[in-house]
Amino acid sequence: MNRRHPARSGPQAIRHQQLYILPTRYGFAYSIMVLTLLVGALNYQLNLGLLFAFLLIGIGQTVMFKSYANLLGLRLEVLPISAVFAGEHAAVLIRIENTKNISRSQLQVSCRHSPIAWLANLPPWETQDVTLRLSCPQRGLVTLPRLRLESTQPLALFCCWSYLNSPQSLWVYPAPEQNPPPPPSPIGRDPSIGPTLSNTNGQDEFNGLRLFQRGDAKHAIAWKHSAHGEQLLVKQFQSPAGQSIYFHWEDVRDLALEPALSRLCAWILAAHERDQDYGLELPNAHFAPASGAIHQQHCLMALAQFSPTQ
């Protein structure tokens, strides 16, 4: 199987040696019916019965070749997969390209522990995407399992299938804790003084009104104040400046492994939403305080692959 379907990135075309075909249960019933008709016609020397039996055999053979040709020559490609949290379903986008002047019908893509994704019809020389929902119950770096493309058309007498082996993998982050406790106090300030405030946009404290600008969110518009004038006004907030938070493993070590990682994940997501600098301190990794999507991704990847034995 690995020799016929090696793990390769990019588009993969289905060749003759990569196709498999077997009769379905309807196909087996059809074969038994034809065999019974043929034996009866030979026993009673019924020429009309022999003609009808050979006609059914020809129809079955034609259906077999049609089922085989329904998949032959298709080009498959797995597109990049976005990271998800444990317990969610990853959306695996598979691009199917029809490289021949024949229509393909009733294509289905599946893999273990996932629902089947259907593609009703693929016209000649066209490309369509089908989404497969992959269950991700555990955190870590998950390798995409071997995908199966199959079809029973036409007439559902034969099942023809092939496999798509992609080297792609996806990150499954720990599931964030619901309603976590407040994160530890920020470093770099005296708690008795209180936070210093800046004029950067945030969501902490109200800091007056300003004129509406293109791109402002509608929920930030001060409708009551705007009603007294001719211009739209937007609420402006201010956030604590110069605050950096460190999330230490010591803060959650009293919890079990998975709940501890879930709490750290929830704190990281909350800090990212506030656009606040934060750092992460694990027994095997250290991330200095920073912000942004790249920093968040690195921290969540460290949580996803964290092992207490490291």
Residues 33, 104: Cα–Cα separation, whole Å: 29
Beta partners for 156? none
Number of Cβ within 10 Å of residue 174's Cβ equals 26
Domain ranges of the chain: 1-173, 205-238, 244-304
Q: Is 74 helix (H, G, I), strand (E, B) or coil?
A: coil
Superfamily of domain 1-173: Immunoglobulins (2.60.40.10)
Measured over the CA atoms of residue 22, residue 24, residue 27 and residue 29, the dihedral's sign is positive
Could you report how far apart the first and last alpha carbons of the chain are, in Å?
35
Q: What single-letter DSSP state applies at residue 250?
A: G
- Residue closest to 240 by CA, chosen among 304, 303, 189, 288: 189
Token pair of 177, please? 């804790």
Site of tokens 């739209």: 232
164 alpha-carbon distance from chain centroid: 16
Q: For residues 157 and 60, is the Cβ–Cβ distance under 8 A?
A: yes
Measured at the CA of 221, the angle between CA 216 and CA 223, to 5 degrees, comes to 155
Token pair of 159, please? 């099942």
- Phi-psi domain of 229 (left: phi exceeds 0; alpha: psi -120 through 50; beta: other): beta
At 183 the pLDDT is 74
What size, in residues, is the chain?
310
Residues 83, 219: Cα–Cα separation, whole Å: 29
- Phi-psi domain of 140 (left: phi exceeds 0; alpha: psi -120 through 50; beta: other): left
- Cis, bond preceding 154 (omega within 30 deg of 0): yes
At 236 the pLDDT is 64
- What residues have CB less than 8 Å from 192, skipping those under 6 apart? none
DSSP β-ladder status, 84-85 and 169-173: parallel
Print pLDDT tens along the chain (310 aa): 888 888 888 899 999 999 999 999 999 999 999 999 999 999 998 999 999 999 999 999 999 999 999 999 999 999 999 999 999 999 999 999 999 999 999 999 998 778 888 888 889 999 999 999 999 999 999 999 899 999 998 999 999 999 999 888 999 999 999 888 887 665 444 433 334 334 444 445 565 677 776 656 666 777 777 777 777 777 765 545 456 788 989 888 888 999 999 999 999 999 888 888 889 988 888 888 888 889 999 999 999 998 876 5
Residues 113, 134: Cα–Cα separation, whole Å: 8
Question: What is the identity of the amino acid at 21?
Answer: I
- Phi-psi domain of 10 (left: phi exceeds 0; alpha: psi -120 through 50; beta: other): left
